[in-house]
Chains A and B, each alone.
Chain A
Amino acid sequence: MKQTERLLGVIGAHLLVRGTLHGKGDLLVEGRFEGEIALDGAVSIAASGAVVAPVNAERVEVDGEVIGPVKARELSVRSQGLVRGDVQVERLAIEDGGGIDGALEMSFDEVGFEDTRPGEDAES
């Protein structure tokens, strides 16, 4: 799809980027990124990719290595992926072989925890 390609940033396999990347669209990291990432799309870290940065995105898919806090709506750690750092997500998936090491904070509607008592939050 042309529109998806148009908004896809790529950090190639032999590229090193140090700095802040923010804006719209998706990002595919096959190289090394150090700094900060803040996008409104999907950030994919490929198996050859390494990100040493706070990652702030809509969706994060990790096949490589991420060192830094990750804040996303959705996080998916694949079989070769590793996330070190605090994670703040709404939805999370960790495949067999994927690693995660850090504080995990998931905000979700606490449906299922609530009693039938009206108007009370079961918050600790």
Chain B
Amino acid sequence: MRPSHIAVGQHLVGDVSGLGELSVAGTVEGTVELDGHLIVLPGGIVRGPVRARTLTLRGSIEGNVHVVEVAKLEAAGKLIGDLTAEKVTAAMGAQVRGRVRMLGADKLQRTSGGTVMTPWSSSGGIAAPLSAAPAPLPQLSAPPTPSPNLLAPPSRELQTLAAPTLSDTSVKVLRATATERAPSTVALAAANKATVPSLPIGAPTLIPPPAVFPTFARTSVRRKDEKPGA
């Protein structure tokens, strides 16, 4: 069956009814009752109530429209009037002034509408509203700072040993000093925690790793005939 058409420059003042497809590039003023597909082409104008099975609007309609199945409003489409359809789609640019009722809206499936899942909510499901501040971050342990004891010259035993003699006692003292100089890591950690002041979180200063400075202690065994330095 050949589709019906009102061509450009043709004006129909009257009513259209029947079956099949009707495309309007001219003007129709009156009632359109079509059991079929109505296309209003760009530049086409329909003034009056429209009832159709499906509608594709690329032109203008002034009047109330009732579409049984799908009403497609394309970008150049303009509708002044109410639209009732089972399903309505509109492209960006379509203009409508009136009430749009999509009868199939209740049947649309929606999954868990309105719930927001956040990773840090204590329970799943509906989380705290977005305006609430997030949970405070856990306190980070204070970064280790070099113990002042490390920088200071080591044990007092060495300092008192100003002029080591060539006797065996000096060697003995050195050995003792060496062990003193390298305290166990456990003792170091304990010393750190006791003396290090707690820094505020987010302190911009970078804490350098514990530095090991050369001390005045003798680190090597001297020759017996060597004079000790001052």
Contacts and interface: CB of A to CB of B under 8 A. Distances in A.
Interface of A: 6-28, 30-31, 35, 39
A10 B2 contact: yes
B17 interface: yes
A16 B17 contact: yes
A63 to B, nearest CB: 14
A31 B9 CA distance: 21
6 contacts: A12-B2, A13-B1, A16-B16, A19-B15, A21-B10, A21-B14
Contact of B10 (A12, A15, A25): A25
A23 B9 contact: yes
The 6 lowest CB-CB distance pairs between A and B, nearest first, are: A19-B14, A15-B18, A23-B10, A12-B4, A24-B9, A14-B19
Contacts, number: 89
B26 interface: yes
Interface of B is mostly: strand
Nearest to A10: B5
How many of chain B's residues touch chain A, expressed as a range? 20 to 34
Contact of A20 (B14, B18, B26): B14
B17 A19 contact: no
A93 to B, nearest CB: 25
Most buried by B among A20, A26, A39: A20
B8 interface: yes
A25 B4 CA distance: 15
